[in-house]
Chain A
Amino acid sequence: MTRTRAHSRQTHAVLDELLADPAVERYGFDLARATGLASGTLYPILMRLEERGLLTARWELAQGRPRHVYRLTAEGLAVAQERRVTRSTPIPGKRALA
């Protein structure tokens, strides 16, 4: 069972990036560039997401070189979409900054 837990801002950035085109497999350096996260921040997040079953990882050959690629699982997709909706929903009673 996966526990529901508030994700960090960095984890949201990774989930958002993977959610942008869920069918496309992304690799670490590509995600690091897109999110602006350092590898020491990005990889522990990917490891955690994979351990929680929100992400699948596999090796593929790209230009003759092995590359580790990532994609959201069905559960990961649901969680990422739910988080995005939750974050975009304004908090009742809280006024938007002018």
Chain B
Amino acid sequence: MRRGEWLRAMRSELDETHGTMRLRWLLGMAWVSGLGLVAPIVAPGVAFGVVGGTIVNREVFLEVYRGGSDSWIGALALTLPTALVGLGAAVLVLRRHRAALAAAYVFAALVAASSLISITNAAPVQPFLDDWQRVTTDPRAADHADELRINSAIGAIAAAGALLVVARRRRRRTGTNHRPTG
């Protein structure tokens, strides 16, 4: 049964409420309605974040590439699989696919590993950002490199966490993670 049907059921009982009870009933309707919006907002949000992050960081990779260094390959090998898995997991969660929760866990694991590398400034992040600071014309390259490392890690952790919560919640609601038929 669709969420709209449940909201119609709640609406049909609103007339029986009075005073503060009516207000609480309306708040309940808003809450139930809002719960239905979490997944449709979070999953595309993660997908847009992944695509947007790739577009924003594109110039950094291109500058290192044009500068003649190969360090971009290691950085790309670290970020690309995570981004692709994140994109795939977001689509699976949105479609209530049976593999959605597993994909969300894989995405979270990849994000945890890459964020640790990024925050600790270990290889391949450090040589990549060192090369970028060497070749870029950005006067605040050192600050921007740190921002890139930390902000990317925080954003990825937030996205993976939100997606995991939504995927777990969807699985808990359906039990098998299948869209009900009929």
Within 8 A of B (CB), among A29-62: 29, 38-44, 46-48, 50-52, 57
Whether B175 contacts A39 by the Cβ 8 Å rule is no
B14 to chain A, nearest CB (A): 9
A50 to chain B, nearest CB (A): 6
Return the CB mask of B160-182 against A: 1 if under 8 Å, else 0. Answer: 00000000000011111000100
B90 to chain A, nearest CB (A): 22
Contacts of B10 in A (CB 8 A): 28, 39, 43
Q: Closest 7 interchain pairs by CB?
A: A39-B28, A68-B9, A40-B28, A40-B31, A29-B13, A3-B175, A29-B16
The answer for the CA separation of A48 and B6 in the assembled complex, in Å, is 11
Q: Given contacts A3-B175, A38-B28, are A51 and B6 in contact (CB under 8 A)?
A: no
Whether B9 contacts A28 by the Cβ 8 Å rule is yes
The answer for the CA separation of A46 and B3 in the assembled complex, in Å, is 11
Select one of A1, A38, A43, A44 contacting B175, CB under 8 A.
A1
Whether B12 contacts A3 by the Cβ 8 Å rule is no
Whether B32 contacts A51 by the Cβ 8 Å rule is no
Contacts of B1 in A (CB 8 A): 47, 50, 57
Q: Name which residue of chain A comes closest to B14, CB basis.
A: A29
Whether A28 contacts B27 by the Cβ 8 Å rule is no
The count of chain B contact residues (Cβ–Cβ below 8 Å) is 27
Pick 14 A–B contacts, CB within 8 A, sort by A: A3-B175, A5-B172, A27-B13, A38-B27, A39-B29, A39-B32, A40-B28, A43-B32, A44-B35, A47-B32, A47-B173, A52-B175, A57-B1, A66-B12
Contacts of B175 in A (CB 8 A): 1-3, 51-52
- Please list the residues of chain B having a beta carbon within 8 angstroms of any beta carbon in chain A: 1, 3, 5-6, 8-10, 12-13, 15-17, 24-25, 27-32, 35, 172-176, 180
Does residue A84 face the partner (Cβ distance < 8 Å to B)?
no
Contacts of A2 in B (CB 8 A): 175
Q: Name which residue of chain B comes closest to A46, CB basis.
A: B6
Contacts of B17 in A (CB 8 A): 29
B61 to chain A, nearest CB (A): 44
Whether A51 contacts B174 by the Cβ 8 Å rule is yes
The answer for the CA separation of A65 and B150 in the assembled complex, in Å, is 58
Q: Name which residue of chain B comes closest to A28, CB basis.
A: B13
Q: A39-B25, A46-B6 are in contact. List 16 more A-B contacts (CB 8 A).
A: A28-B9, A28-B13, A29-B13, A29-B16, A39-B10, A39-B24, A39-B27, A40-B32, A43-B6, A43-B28, A47-B1, A47-B3, A47-B32, A47-B173, A50-B1, A51-B174
